[in-house]
Structure 1
Amino acid sequence: MKKPNILVLFVDQLRKDAIGAYGNTQVITPALDSLAADSTVFTQHFCSFPVCTPSRYSFLSGLYTHQHGCWTNHSTLSSEYETFPRILLKNGYRTQAVGKMHFTPTYLDVGFQHMCLSEQDGNGRFEDDYHAHLMRHNLVDGIDVIDQRSEYRVNAKPGYFDSFGVEVSDLPEQYHSTAWVTDQALQRLESWEDEGECMMISYIKPHHPFDPSSRFVELYKNREIDLLSGYTEEVPAVDLGYNKGYFDNTKLSAEAAKEMTKYYYASITQIDEGIQQILDLLKRKGLYDSTLILFTADHGDYLGFHHMALKQNHMYDPVLHIPLFIKYPGKEGGVCTSLSDNTQVASAIIAALGGDCFIGNHLPLADEREYVLAMNRQVVEGSERTCYAVRSKRYKLLVMGPMENSRLFDLYADPLELEDVSRLSEYSQVLQSMQSFLVNCILFDYPFKNRYEPNAGVVVKTKEETDRQRKALQCYYQQKIVH
């Protein structure tokens, strides 16, 4: 039986409603819209942690953050936890990763045999293939490094802060990270056989700074750009007191939010053009129809919601609600309205290939869930606490630790998540049900995973000494007890 090929197209900080396939008529995404037409489109899909690395580890392992234990962008997924690329590798697949992985260490082994990386945060940008490529050509991604590295950000020009990181790329288009990721992916896809191939292609963008190449900005020059739903005239007090923002959210005018949205869309269109090249190559090789192709993101962006930019605040829908569509070999496209989160995807990939080795959250993507779960870790009232979000199709519960710091939103009546109804008697049963779900999830349904690392580093004795003693004692007991 053939092993169907698998292509994962992954982007950073893309909210669900910024693609044409989800109803946005102003963004230009013909390749993604065409792929979505051939795919099962999931309309109620959410990330389980609205920060890059923890969310990516959940995507790979099927584990919630409290299970895999990686709470920040500088954390390491234990080698004891299975991932879908690791399972595929064990089952004869050739596994490759191209682009942004956001791991610590940079080339962490999660099951990819070959990795060609373009990183952005932390030391990854000093260790990856992309930035070495720029250095060989005497180039530097100045806009990006100022945005991402604090030692350079302090010297940013005032216009950077006023625009919320909006600027035309300072690199020739062929050296932009999006173009580089596409080019590296195309080179590797050229060698694909008709079975047993798995590649994850992960773009840095549309993550801030919003610096697309000039050609893609020009596409939006004369296009009217509306604010996405949820913009308010000022930052609500409950949000402003929680986190002022990576930029000063109080200074985000409607015009600045529109300009940020335009450059965000231009970044998405630049990715879309690269994805078109990738899909065209698969079609030329006769592999498109037989390949499982999955498109998703790690988290979203406020993009003006509640007068805020980026993602450093409460877990409102724009940062949790992400795109997911999957083109299954031999199946027509369709729509799935079931609630799902990114801990379910790893097992879904294995299941779609007819495998019986499931990892993490086994619940099928199409199964109807009453609630999905997300979490984050933030400083609340001067101390770091774990915060939770529980969402049904109608209601959203936010808990900022402890449980009495709960807010409840009726999304049918209040889709902008502005009116807390947690203290209204008519919602008391809903509140209790969602709080009980949260408690049961953490205590019983999704418990902490057992860590077992027999080869972890030790002191006093070397590994060889330990091995010798263990074998000697095993023989000793065998002699004394059995005989």
Structure 2
Amino acid sequence: MDRPNILWICTDQQRYDTLGCTGNPYVETPNLDGLAREGVCFHHAYCQSPVCAPSRASFLSGRYPRTVRVRQNGQDIPREEVLVSRVFADSGYHCGLVGKLHVSACHPSVEPFMERRIDDGYKVFHWSHHPGRADERALNWPANEYRLWLKEKGERFTAVPRPETDLVCEGMPEAYHPTTWHADRAIEFIQVNGAFDAPWFLSVNFYDPHHPFDPPAEYLERALKRSMKAPLPGPGPRAPAPSPFLENEWKNGAYNRLKEYRWENLSPQAHRCLRAAYWAMIDLLDHQIGRILDALEKSGQMKNTIVVFMSDHGEMLGDHGVYLKGPHFYECSVRVPLILSWRGKLKPAVKENALVELTDVAPTLLELAGLEVPEGMQGLSMRSWLTESSGADEFRDTVYSEYLNAMSWHTEPAAYVTMVRDDRYKLICHHGKGLGGELYDLLADPEELHNLWNEPKCGEIRFALLKTLCDRMAFACDPLPVRRSDF
């Protein structure tokens, strides 16, 4: 059997409920909906951290953030860690990356040229951490290929604030938008590598729909019209706050410091515009991903290519009175879209209830490609379950996620938070003296509005889930180095 190509598409900060196939009537995602129809669509996939670098280091290594030693934004992944791209490269794959990597510190103040890399296996490396800002020098790098591409085309990066809120801008036209640049580079890679015998592995890491919210004007206008029928986010701040971190962001804004995102500072029109802009960015993503899938089809490589679509973590988007991300484990923050497709090899299915983790993606791809899973990987391969099972809709009993001081701005108290959920309940533990936690019955309370942590009638449930959480934390310890003998 020819070894399959791997096309791994990952968006940034896209919550699970943002595709037509996951029930959102306010987005236009025909290409991703089509991919879901011919693949396996997971409705309960969870990231292992609600923040970029820990999540990305985790799913690219198949290891938990604490184990891969990237539990914070701004940390460098140790050089001895092995990403799945390295494993594919060592097995003869041509490996490429387009867009963001973010498994090490990524700020011009410490990495003035580009993100530090380990031996990650990527030989083609079209890197752009984010588009930058309108100011050419602010938060930008000389190796930002998107900005170099703009310069070649005689264009400057622009973003025009909207009257509803300056948190939303009319961004670059579609022809010059960062999302289009990602798609162009991916198509180029697919077409070039299709002429060679070696299999290929391509990571396409789009920056959108991560803030700043700046879709092309025509996409935003269409989304604004659709959003008039959509409910506004809610509820807003309410007492008692289920966590001290949420309470701090109600006072200080997103990231505990961006006061422009404070709920009380935003009008209903601003809330609606923010939602519309987010959905518009996803509409644009779908259109550009459609171009990539068309190129794959036209090149004759679709049947021998495993396609993955997912996101690194979610987005609060105003729910529970908060925007962006942080030490929050609501479904909108940790539950993400996940689609796996391999035409003729994976039977199309919708996994409504199956709990899966993003750590499971890397070992699954390796086994589907007939490669050995490294002993350091902690995720569970889904290969047998997807290809040989009788259609069971259960995979994991629980999913686990963690936020261990992952961002520098959450202080007083410092945010060390862990989460476990089973098929009904979610428990969130706020670690530290005098701190409690959260407990939600997701069957009776899917919007997670009623914290049952202190409910006496739920004491046995809380105890059982705390024991499960302790187990998950214990089993997240590093399996490396491998034991060589009994003593």
Q: TM-score range by the shorter chain?
A: 0.7 to 0.9
- What residue ranges of structure 1 are gaps of 5+ in the alignment? 145-156, 453-483
Paired amino acid for 2:117: L
Paired amino acid for 2:234: Y
Pick closer, same or farther for the CA change 1:271–1:281 going to 2, 3 Å.
same
Matched position secondary structure for 1:43: strand
Distance of 2:122 and 2:176 partners within structure 1? 25
Per the TM alignment, residue 286 of structure 1 is displaced from its structure 2 partner at its CA by 1.2
Distance of 2:340 and 2:461 partners within structure 1? 33
Residues 169-195 of structure 1: CA distance to partner in whole angstroms, max 9, x if unpaired? 1x3432211111111111111112365
TM-score, normalization by structure 2: 0.83
Residues 59-94 of structure 1: CA distance to partner in whole angstroms, max 9, x if unpaired? 100111111111233222223222211111111100
Matched position secondary structure for 1:14: coil
1:119 to 129, 139, 148: 129
2:247 to 229, 241, 246: 241
Distance of 2:148 and 2:240 partners within structure 1? 44
1:15 aligns with 2:3: no
Which residue does the alignment assign to 2:445?
Answer: 414
Which residue does the alignment assign to 1:471?
Answer: none
Distance of 1:262 and 1:48 partners within structure 2? 27
Asked if structure 2 preserves the Cα contact closer than 8 Å seen for 1:225 and 1:261, the reply is no
Which residue does the alignment assign to 1:179?
Answer: 180
Distance of 2:320 and 2:298 partners within structure 1? 45
1:314 aligns with 2:324: no
Distance of 1:229 and 1:391 partners within structure 2? 27
Matched position secondary structure for 2:122: coil
Paired amino acid for 2:124: H
Q: Which moved more, 1:380-389 or 1:59-68?
A: 380-389
Which residue does the alignment assign to 2:378?
Answer: 361
Residues 441-482 of structure 1: CA distance to partner in whole angstroms, max 9, x if unpaired? 223x11146589xxxxxxxxxxxxxxxxxxxxxxxxxxxxxx
Which residue does the alignment assign to 2:168?
Answer: 166
Which residue does the alignment assign to 2:390?
Answer: none
Distance of 1:228 and 1:314 partners within structure 2? 22
Pick closer, same or farther for the CA change 1:234–1:370 going to 2, 3 Å.
same
Asked if structure 2 preserves the Cα contact closer than 8 Å seen for 1:84 and 1:349, the reply is no
Per the TM alignment, residue 221 of structure 1 is displaced from its structure 2 partner at its CA by 4.7
Which residue does the alignment assign to 1:260?
Answer: 274
Distance of 2:168 and 2:232 partners within structure 1? 20
Asked if structure 2 preserves the Cα contact closer than 8 Å seen for 1:235 and 1:249, the reply is no
1:190 aligns with 2:191: yes
Paired amino acid for 2:169: E
Residues 192-234 of structure 1: CA distance to partner in whole angstroms, max 9, x if unpaired? 2365111111111011111111221233353244546861143
Asked if structure 1 preserves the Cα contact closer than 8 Å seen for 2:359 and 2:380, the reply is no
Mapping 1:131-280, distance limit 5 Å: 131-137=147-153, 139-143=155-159, 163=165, 165-169=167-171, 171-193=172-194, 196-227=199-230, 231-234=234-237, 237-238=240-241, 240-243=246-249, 244-245=253-254, 246=258, 247-280=261-294
Asked if structure 1 preserves the Cα contact closer than 8 Å seen for 2:70 and 2:103, the reply is no
Per the TM alignment, residue 251 of structure 1 is displaced from its structure 2 partner at its CA by 2.3
Residues 348-399 of structure 1: CA distance to partner in whole angstroms, max 9, x if unpaired? 1111112232452242345532211111134766242421111122111111
Which residue does the alignment assign to 2:400?
Answer: 373
1:287 aligns with 2:289: no
Asked if structure 1 preserves the Cα contact closer than 8 Å seen for 2:246 and 2:328, the reply is no
Distance of 1:390 and 1:221 partners within structure 2? 36
Which residue does the alignment assign to 2:5?
Answer: 5
Paired amino acid for 2:360: Q
Higher Cα Rg, which structure: 1
Per the TM alignment, residue 418 of structure 1 is displaced from its structure 2 partner at its CA by 2.1
Mapping 1:294-333, distance limit 5 Å: 294-330=308-344, 331-333=346-348
Distance of 2:124 and 2:464 partners within structure 1? 46
Paired amino acid for 2:182: V
Which residue does the alignment assign to 1:350?
Answer: 366
Paired amino acid for 1:349: L
TM-score, normalization by structure 1: 0.83
Per the TM alignment, residue 267 of structure 1 is displaced from its structure 2 partner at its CA by 0.6
Asked if structure 1 preserves the Cα contact closer than 8 Å seen for 2:50 and 2:327, the reply is no
Pick closer, same or farther for the CA change 1:224–1:387 going to 2, 3 Å.
closer
Which residue does the alignment assign to 1:150?
Answer: none
Distance of 2:470 and 2:239 partners within structure 1? 28
Mapping 1:94-133, distance limit 5 Å: 94-104=94-104, 106=115, 108-109=117-118, 110-120=120-130, 125-133=141-149
Paired amino acid for 2:221: E
Give the fraction of aligned pairs with identical amino acids, expressed as a percent: 27
Pick closer, same or farther for the CA change 1:112–1:235 going to 2, 3 Å.
farther
Paired amino acid for 2:449: L
Distance of 2:414 and 2:230 partners within structure 1? 33
Distance of 2:231 and 2:280 partners within structure 1? 15
Paired amino acid for 1:345: V
1:341 to 357, 363, 385: 357
Distance of 2:169 and 2:280 partners within structure 1? 11
Matched position secondary structure for 1:289: helix
Asked if structure 2 preserves the Cα contact closer than 8 Å seen for 1:68 and 1:449, the reply is no
Asked if structure 2 preserves the Cα contact closer than 8 Å seen for 1:102 and 1:124, the reply is no
1:430 to 461, 466, 473: 461
Which residue does the alignment assign to 2:109?
Answer: none
Q: Which moved more, 1:410-419 or 1:178-187?
A: 410-419
Paired amino acid for 1:447: C
